[in-house]
Structure 1
Amino acid sequence: MLRERIKRKAHEVVYSTGTRDPIKICEAKNIPVYYDDLGKQIMAYHTVIKRIPAIVLSTRNSEFENNYSCGHELGHHFCRHKGNTEHLDRKNLRFSSIGDEAEANEFMVDLMLDGVNKHDFETKEQLLKACGIPLWAEKYVEL
């Protein structure tokens, strides 16, 4: 999916739900969110069972981690990635320029920045912190 299409889709989701909060978006879009102990490495995953999408977040995550992990998994959902169990792993929290993980990260950032005036912030770090975006995702932010 092209970056502009991802940005447009993220905007459509925010506009239709009235929020940039990934957990509230799941609620508005009737995407169940479950919590489970996923071990030390897996932070979250998106799956589809009998055509019903669901997101599972780790009980070992902080609230901050669950928020952006949910945004990432929504990226897999709205970008219509074909894998049945896409997951965010602590080992793959890094910039990726191609593939499904890159698209999910781009969606997460675009979703959480939609409608935010980036010029209201002196640094990119301040912008990321204010919007709940992890520092490892800074390369996905277009200024």
Structure 2
Amino acid sequence: MEIERKIRQLIHQYKTDNPFALAEAKNIHVIYGDLGGKLGNYLKYKRSKFILIDDKRTPQDMLNFVCAHELGHALCTPDDNTQWLKTYTMSINANKVEHVANRFAVELLLNDEYISNNKDRSLYDLAKCRGVPEQFIQLKNE
């Protein structure tokens, strides 16, 4: 419930559910580079927060999900520097910190307002449009 409340507040305050726009609004720097196999990473150095995205390996349709996942780390577990995703080996059975970030990403990209504004489409179709991998859809409203 805490994640859903946090997301509702973010969307209300910043008038967007775009993870890149939210990162910018929260002064979290998004940096692109070759991460050597990881699609994304979150890093906190001193008081600055960074989302790192592999611009060579991250599929275009997954950019929002990767950014949303790393934003989840930055906002929900900000003091845990983490690594995420080796190429395509995503696991629904990740550790607690990863689970929180995955839930955050799913709830942000498939937020209740977005779903209610698209009632004529299935949750799976909406997830595909937003780049949410199918195996994570079950985290919606967990």
TM-score band (shorter)?
A: 0.7 to 0.9
Consecutive unaligned residues of structure 2, counting only runs of 5 or more, are none
In structure 1, distance between residues paired with 2:75 and 2:89: 20
Sequence identity of aligned pairs in percent?
28
Aligned residues, how many?
Answer: 138
Question: In the alignment, is the contact (CA less than 8 A) between 2:115 and 2:123 conserved in 1?
Answer: no
In structure 2, distance between residues paired with 1:131 and 1:67: 7
1:13-50 Cα shifts (integer Å, max 9, x gaps)? 122221111111111211110001011x3011111111
Question: In the alignment, is the contact (CA less than 8 A) between 2:127 and 2:137 conserved in 1?
Answer: yes
Q: TM-score, normalization: structure 1? A: 0.85
Residue 56 (structure 1) aligned with residue 55 (structure 2): no
Inter-CA distance 97–46: structure 2 relative to 1 (3 Å threshold): closer
Give the alignment partner of residue 39 of structure 2, picking from 14, 37, 43.
43
Inter-CA distance 31–102: structure 2 relative to 1 (3 Å threshold): same
RMSD: 2.1
The letter of the residue matching 2:114 is V
More deviation in 89-98 or 110-119? 89-98
In structure 2, distance between residues paired with 1:42 and 1:33: 15
Question: In the alignment, is the contact (CA less than 8 A) between 2:28 and 2:51 conserved in 1?
Answer: yes
Give the alignment partner of residue 21 of structure 1, picking from 11, 14, 18.
18
More deviation in 93-102 or 49-58? 93-102
Consecutive unaligned residues of structure 1, counting only runs of 5 or more, are none
Offset of residue 121 of structure 1? 4.2
Question: In the alignment, is the contact (CA less than 8 A) between 1:71 and 1:108 conserved in 2?
Answer: yes
Question: In the alignment, is the contact (CA less than 8 A) between 1:44 and 1:70 conserved in 2?
Answer: yes
Q: TM-score, normalization: structure 2? A: 0.85
Offset of residue 10 of structure 1? 1.4
**What are the equivalent positions in structure 2 for 1:104-119 lying under 5 Å apart?**
104-114=101-111, 115-117=113-115
In structure 1, distance between residues paired with 2:45 and 2:99: 24
In structure 2, distance between residues paired with 1:116 and 1:122: 11
In structure 1, distance between residues paired with 2:120 and 2:25: 29
Offset of residue 102 of structure 1? 0.8
Which stretches of structure 1, 4 residues or longer, exceed 3 Å deviation after superposition? none
Question: In the alignment, is the contact (CA less than 8 A) between 1:32 and 1:55 conserved in 2?
Answer: yes
